[in-house]
C-alpha cells in the first residue's frame, strides 16, 4: 500500500515538474531594456525561430499612433529596414492587404511580405489591435488587384503573424505592444536570425515613437460608429 502511495506521489511530482519546465520554456524572456523600450523573446513550440515582443510608452494619443501605422506609404519612415511599401487592396477602412520589402545585408536576399491586416477596438477599454498575417499567394489568387510581380532576387515570406496592441494608459499616453513571429525562410544562419529579431522591434518602436510627432498625425481623431468600431480617422493632414 505504501509503495503504491509513494509511486503515485512520485508521478504527481513528475507531472507538476514537467508542467513547470514546459511553461517556463515558453515564457517571454526580456533580452533588452533600453531607451524606454523592452524587447522579449519566446520559444514558439518546436520552431527554432523565436517570437518577439516589443513594448514602448508613447506620449501621444491612440488616434495619432494608429494614423501612422495605417499610413502604408510611411512604413519607410519608421519600420526598420522597410522598403517599397504598397497598398494592394483596401476591403474596408479596418481591413486591407499591403506589401513591403524587408532589406537585409549583402549577401542575403531581401524578404518580401504580403500582409492581411485587420483592425479591431475594445469598447470597454478603448484599446486597438491591428492583427497581421501574411498571405503569400494573394497575388496569384487576385491578379486583378495586385501589381506585384514575382522577383527571383526576393524571398517571399510564407509564415508570419502578429499584432500591434495600442492601449490607453493615461491622457495622451499610449502603450504600444508589438508581438510577431516570422519564419524568414531561405538560408540565414540562426545566430543572425536571433540578432535580427532582437533588433527589429527595438528599432521599429524607436522609429514609431519619433515619427508619430510628425504634424501630419498629431490632429488625428478616430471616427466611431454606434457600436464603437472605428470607421475612419479624421484630421490627418
Could you say which architecture CATH assigns to the domain 25-234?
2-Layer Sandwich (3.30)
More confident residue, 2 or 39: 39
Q: Quick one: pLDDT at residue 33?
A: 97
Looking at per-residue pLDDT, the higher value among 172 and 153 belongs to 172
pTM of the model: 0.87
Tell me how far apart the alpha carbons of residues 22 and 205 are, in angstroms, rounded to a whole number: 30
The pLDDT, as a whole number, for residue 112 is: 95
pLDDT confidence of residue 15: 41
- Residue among 195, 179, 185 nearest 154 (CA): 185
Q: Of how many residues is the chain composed?
A: 237
Q: Which among 68, 82, 42 has a CA at the least distance from the CA of 197?
A: 42
Going by pLDDT thresholds of 50, 70 and 90, the confidence category of residue 96 is very high
Give the per-residue pLDDT at 20.
39
**Cα separation, 198 vs 24, whole angstroms:** 20
Instruction: Tell me the average pLDDT across 228-236.
Output: 94
Indicate if the pLDDT at residue 149 is higher than 50: yes
In the chain, where the domains are located: 25-234
Give the pLDDT score at 148. Answer: 77
pLDDT grade, residue 144 (50/70/90)? confident
CA atoms within 13 A on the CB side of 149: 3
Q: Is the pLDDT of residue 11 over 70?
A: no
**H helix count then E strand count, the chain:** 6, 12
**CA distances from residue 228 to 125, 128, 231 in whole angstroms, order as listed:** 11, 11, 9
d(CA 32, CA 38): 6
Which residues in 168-187 are b (16+ Cβ under 10 Å) and which e? eeeeeebbbbbbbbbebeee
pLDDT per position as a tens digit, 42-78: 987 767 889 999 999 999 999 999 999 999 999 999 9
Amino acid at each position: 500500500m505504501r509503495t503504491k502511495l509513494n509511486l503515485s506521489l512520485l508521478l504527481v511530482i513528475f507531472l507538476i515538474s514537467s508542467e513547470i519546465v514546459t511553461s517556463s520554456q515558453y515564457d517571454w524572456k526580456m533580452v533588452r531594456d533600453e531607451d524606454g523600450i523592452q524587447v522579449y523573446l519566446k520559444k514558439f513550440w518546436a520552431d527554432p525561430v523565436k517570437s518577439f515582443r516589443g513594448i514602448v510608452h508613447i506620449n501621444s494619443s491612440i488616434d495619432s499612433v494608429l494614423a501612422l501605422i495605417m499610413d502604408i506609404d510611411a512604413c519607410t519612415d519608421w519600420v526598420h529596414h522597410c522598403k517599397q511599401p504598397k497598398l494592394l487592396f483596401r476591403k474596408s477602412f479596418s481591413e486591407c492587404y499591403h506589401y513591403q520589402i524587408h532589406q537585409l545585408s549583402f549577401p542575403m536576399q531581401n524578404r518580401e511580405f504580403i500582409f492581411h491586416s485587420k483592425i479591431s477596438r475594445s469598447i470597454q477599454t478603448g484599446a486597438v489591435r491591428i492583427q497581421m498575417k501574411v498571405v503569400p499567394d494573394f497575388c496569384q489568387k487576385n491578379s486583378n488587384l495586385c501589381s506585384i510581380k514575382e522577383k527571383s532576387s526576393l524571398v517571399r515570406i510564407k509564415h508570419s503573424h502578429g499584432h500591434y496592441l495600442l492601449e490607453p494608459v493615461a491622457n495622451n499616453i499610449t502603450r504600444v505592444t508589438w508581438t510577431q513571429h516570422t519564419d524568414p525562410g531561405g538560408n540565414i544562419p540562426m545566430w543572425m536570425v536571433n540578432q535580427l529579431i532582437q533588433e527589429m522591434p527595438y528599432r521599429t518602436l524607436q522609429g514609431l515613437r519619433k515619427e508619430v510627432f510628425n504634424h501630419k498625425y498629431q490632429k488625428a481623431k478616430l471616427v466611431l460608429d454606434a457600436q464603437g468600431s472605428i470607421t475612419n480617422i479624421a484630421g490627418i493632414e
